[in-house]
Amino acid sequence: MPITPESENQTAAPPAERLAYSVQEAADMLGINYFTMYRLIQRQKLKTCRVLRGKLLVPRTELLQLLQTDLR
Amino acid sequence: MNYYERPTPLQEQAYTEARQHFAEHLKQFKANCDAFHNIECNLPTTANDTFRAAIQSSGHIIQTDDGTQWQHAVDLTKITSVCHRRTEAGLEFAVVECLPLKSREMKDVLNSGHDAREVLQTFAHDQRKVFKLWKDDVTAQVNEYLGEKYPHQDMTIVTESFEIKLARAISERPAQTQKQSHGVRI
């Protein structure tokens, strides 16, 4: 069945609108590998929060702060 | 939990699916563990090379984000290297990370000290903590993935097999990884 624009809109919100990302998504956004990402978290260069099952999430604000972008 | 318990066909299927879903994680985890073990194995040699470079005062200058100037001695990974500098208290060594982000390059001292070997040992110790953090997060993600895909099913054995697999990758040296594993297939 072809995907209509309507059904596409029903999928998850685009990344730019999300409040937090998984470590992998954040690594992809920063253009670094997973290990480097966990190293930043371990050194508390990036603050994270844990969701129900213990998975780490990186808040969008933390990523922006790290990048020192003009979006802040 | 009996790790020698035989998984059910559903658990086998869940394991295969999760393994595919987290393939990139597992691949990167293994590659980084192997690279780390190589660093650990070469630690005494690296410490000697670093000390020699410091005595000769050789190596290009790296200025870290805190403004400190270091001289490069030996590369540990693509983005980390051991550096040295002269201070009033004598030679100082540091593991410096140069992390190219999309907007800038972050240059940070991971750890430093006056004994090159100790600095490298501390670095190795810290890397183990990072691997543990990574392992715990992957395990949590596998748990979440299986919980959503197989609600009301006991997938503990699958999650635990991932956890054991990752823990082994951290603790085993490359030569040891060739040993046969027994019990549940992971």
Secondary structure (3-state) at B115: coil
**CA–CA distance, B67 with B54 (Å, rounded to integer):** 20
Model confidence over A8-66: pLDDT tens digits? 445 555 555 789 999 999 998 888 889 999 999 999 989 999 987 889 999 999 998 88
Rounded average pLDDT over B44-55: 94
Instruction: State residue B6's pLDDT score.
Output: 83
Pick A56's closest partner by Cβ from B100, B137, B143: B137
The strands making up A56-59's β-sheet, listed across from edge to edge, are A20-22, A56-59, A49-50
Distance (Å) of CA B69 to CA A37, B12, B98: 25, 54, 13
Nearest to A38 among B106, B134, B144 (CB): B134
Q: How many residues does chain A have?
A: 72
Question: Which chain A residue lies closest to B146 (C-alpha atoms)?
Answer: A53
* Residue B134: Cβ within 10 Å count: 26
Cβ of A24 under 8 Å from any chain B Cβ?
yes
What is the spatial distance between Cα B168 and Cα B26, in angstroms, rounded to a whole number? 12
H or E element that contains A58:
strand A56-59
With 0-12 / 13-18 / 19 or more C-beta atoms within 10 angstroms meaning exposed / middle / buried, residue B20 is exposed
Q: What is the pLDDT of residues B160-182, one digit of tens each?
A: 999 999 999 998 765 544 444 44
Smallest Cβ distance to B104: which of A24, A40, A68?
A: A68
| Of B134, B110, B130, nearest in space to B120 by CA | B110
DSSP B126: H
User: Does the CB of A71 have a partner CB in chain B at under 8 Å?
Assistant: no
- Report the predicted TM-score, pTM, of the whole model to 2 decimal places: 0.82
Q: Which helix (H) or strand (E) holds B112?
A: strand B105-113
CA distance A24 to A32: 9
Contact B18, B147 (CB under 8 A): no
Residue that wins the pLDDT comparison between B60 and B185: B60
- Measured in Å, how far apart are chain A's first and last C-alpha atoms? 42
The H-or-E segment that residue B133 falls in is helix B116-149
- Chain A residues with CB under 8 Å of B134 CB are 34-35, 38
The number of C-beta contacts closer than 8 angstroms across A and B is 69
Which residues of chain A are within 8 Å of residue B28 when distances are taken between CB atoms? 33-35
Say yes or no for a CB contact (<8 Å) between A56 and B140. Answer: yes
The one-letter amino acid at B126: D
Closest chain A residue to the Cα of B141, Cα to Cα = A55
pLDDT in tens, B126-171: 999 999 999 999 999 999 999 999 998 999 999 999 999 999 999 8
Cα A65 versus chain centre, distance: 13
- pLDDT reported for residue B38: 93
Q: Which residue has the tokens 């559903």?
A: B10
Distance from CA of B6 to the nearest CA of A (A): 25
Q: Residue B36: CA atoms inside 13 Å, Cβ hemisphere, count?
A: 23
Task: Supply the ipTM of this predicted assembly.
Answer: 0.82
Tens digit of pLDDT for each residue in B68-81? 999 999 999 999 99
Q: Are A50 and A57 in contact (CB under 8 A)?
A: yes
Model confidence band, residue A72 (pLDDT cutoffs 50, 70, 90): very low
3-state secondary structure of B1: coil
How much is the pLDDT for B175? Answer: 56
Compare CB distances from B129 to A42, A51, A53 and report the shortest one's residue: A42
pLDDT value at residue B58: 84
Predicted local distance difference test score (pLDDT) of residue A14: 55
Distance from CA of A39 to the nearest CA of B (A): 6
Q: Is B60 on the interface with A (CB under 8 A)?
A: no
Please, which residues bridge with residue B61 across strands?
B71
- How confident is the prediction for chain B on average, in pLDDT? 89
Q: In B, which residues are within 8 Å of A34 by CB distance?
A: 25, 28-29, 32, 134
Q: Which residue has the higher pLDDT, B183 or B81?
A: B81
